[in-house]
A and B are shown apart, each in its own frame.
Chain A
């Protein structure tokens, strides 16, 4: 097992390097750099420019050096926990994004648990009651959920909430907790507000996973060992949960590596629609105003987050399924 863990962690390194390169490319893509934009702005306003400050900043970020030096410098700083400076917020990037990244993680992880919590029991039901009215109804609902993009669902939900229930689903906190320091009351407040975005984000994945679980279990149920166990007189419930379900769940766990990027991606855009204080709106703002260090840090961190959780899911799978770690 130790061997397997080490091998997986080593595999992760090139992945992270490529991700950092992609993030850096995004930082570099907009024409010019932030300083030139800033200088042009100041000049247009006829303001005095502190040449020394600009030159100092330019040197600090290596904007006068070739691109690979800039990348190395940026990476070196990132590894030491310095993600650069957010021009728009006038603060180091780390101070700006900490809470957003945390909230995004919380929302995405909650969505992930919800996906499994709903999809696995429904998948089991659908497979054991194949072609029953319940199965057909769930399949139809699943297809509908699969095809409704979550940001559209969020818009429709907002509209419904606004016009039928006279209640707004916007935000993650009640107004009084918005800027309050973290406390137990704030966490409870978060929990009462979180379920709407979590449901919106997980709907499409739930639908997909019901299909996967159903198909996997149907395959397993046809196998000989199920017949054997039944012939030996095992109770139907025990038989189902002990053998075929355990087998059918495995591919779902490995599917985590696809599920997580999907959820984070859905969380980003849903957050913009529902104006949640997670990464979405701030990333959008940073991208619009070309606050490149901020947006670069977001993309780097979100991607790293998913890669690390993919690693965790692989380890989980190896723990659940011994055949994998001895491969």
Chain B
């Protein structure tokens, strides 16, 4: 036991350990996993961004800037007007015809610049459908533009679209995981509790679902969503499809834990004290493995986010006018387009950052889920 060694050195520390609540212990243990802490920060930031996207995005995601089709990412420059400034500005984007390829090539002209303004009054939007305003955290005055990630083929600001897309892409994982959590706990609970034929059948179904390759199955199911459905309905349909395979892992874990814990002394003690079956499960068994279930669920979120992206990329998932990272990546299907306009690949970076963060967070949570276990290796 690691903490016993510590007692000889630092008494108050040790006492803190004994009086701490499980939640406190979990946090202490989680904190030791440095990467997981960073990942948690990234994830919280991403979700905050998704929540307050309207004022944070510089433009309306559907606003078309017809003079700036496929504009490359603009830099923020501190050197303008012939001297160094502490406040950044963007240079004006101009284009010329390339003599060799006869293509329009954008270039930034330092002679014309527009300082970046905060709380800029730009495109109008409704904040959370509550009130209408036009204040954006970042913007530029005097006819300048601020396309930090460039624009797409219709002249829409990619950064704004990615920010709006995070709303759908990040929430679909959560809702999907919640649905598979419900299904998994119910079916796994039934399976582990009743045993016998029910158990055998549910286990068989789980085995089958796990042996079907997920992408072809997802593709098949989502192709069945009627084209006439409203965006909201399609969104919900895709979530249900994604959770269709997700519940099997949870059900397995719940069943395994239930079977093992049923034999524990404390369960027997509760039974002898006259507690009902429902009470034993709810008050004694469930709390002792809930943290494990939550961890295994967290590790499923990236899979769901990727599933949505893959389906939308293939054109079987979400469709415009919904904006999600997968829908944005659909522009990358034509590789010649991507080679000419590589900034269209920016959503990939966001996606990987989020996936990586969820994985590290899951790793840290797995260590923290059982705060009483001695730390191994």
A-to-B contact residues, CB < 8 Å: 14-15, 18-19, 22-23, 26, 29-31, 143-144, 146-149, 151-152, 155-156, 158-159, 162-163, 168, 170, 218, 257-258, 261-262, 264-266, 268-269, 272, 279, 283-284, 287-288, 290, 295, 298-299, 302-303, 306-307, 310
Contacts and interface: CB of A to CB of B under 8 A. Distances in A.
Given A283-B216, A299-B216, A310-B211, A159 B345 contact: yes
B359 A147 contact: yes
A96 B212 CA distance: 22
In terms of DSSP, what is the predominant structure of the interface of chain A?
A: helix
A268 B216 contact: yes
Nearest to B354: A147
A214 to B, nearest CB: 11
A307 B215 contact: no
B342 A298 contact: no
Contact of B211 (A163, A295, A307): A307
Interface in B215-268: 215-217, 219-221, 223-224, 226
B306 A302 contact: no
In terms of DSSP, what is the predominant structure of the interface of chain B?
A: helix
A49 B336 CA distance: 43
Contact of B335 (A23, A158, A261, A266): A158
B253 to A, nearest CB: 15
Contact of A272 (B213, B220, B314, B359): B314
Contacts of A287: 219-220, 223, 316
Contacts of A266: 215
Contact of B212 (A158, A261, A284): A261
Contacts of A158: 335, 338
A159 B333 CA distance: 11
Contacts of B359: 143, 146-147
Contact of B348 (A14, A156, A268, A302): A156
Contacts of A298: 216
B345 A156 contact: yes
Given A22-B217, A295-B220, A295-B223, 11 more contacts: A19-B211, A147-B302, A149-B355, A170-B335, A261-B212, A261-B214, A268-B219, A284-B219, A303-B213, A306-B212, A306-B213
A18 B210 CA distance: 12
Interface of B: 204-205, 207-208, 210-217, 219-221, 223-224, 226, 302, 306, 309-310, 313-316, 329, 332, 335-336, 338-339, 342, 345, 348, 351-352, 355-356, 359, 377
Given A156-B348, A306-B211, A306-B212, A29 B314 contact: no
A163 B216 contact: no
Nearest to A30: B224
Given A266-B215, A272-B314, A306-B213, A29 B221 contact: yes
Nearest to A289: B223
B205 A163 contact: no
Contacts of B210: 257-258, 261
**Ranked 3 nearest A-B pairs via Cβ:** A29-B224, A287-B223, A265-B213
B276 to A, nearest CB: 35
A158 B226 CA distance: 32
Contacts of A265: 213-216
A20 B346 CA distance: 41
A26 B205 CA distance: 17
B355 A15 contact: no
Nearest to A288: B223
B206 to A, nearest CB: 11
A125 to B, nearest CB: 18
A268 B214 CA distance: 10
A258 B329 CA distance: 28
Given A29-B224, A163-B342, A272-B314, A257 B217 contact: no
A22 B205 CA distance: 11
Contacts of A146: 359
B345 A155 contact: yes
Nearest to B356: A147
14 contacts: A15-B204, A18-B204, A18-B208, A23-B220, A30-B223, A149-B306, A162-B335, A268-B219, A284-B314, A284-B315, A302-B213, A302-B216, A306-B213, A310-B211
A278 B302 CA distance: 27
Contact of A299 (B211, B217, B342, B377): B217
Given A146-B359, A265-B215, A303-B212, A152 B348 contact: yes
A310 B211 CA distance: 8
A270 to B, nearest CB: 10
A269 B332 CA distance: 14
B356 A143 contact: yes
B335 A283 contact: no
A62 B223 CA distance: 23
A14 B204 contact: yes
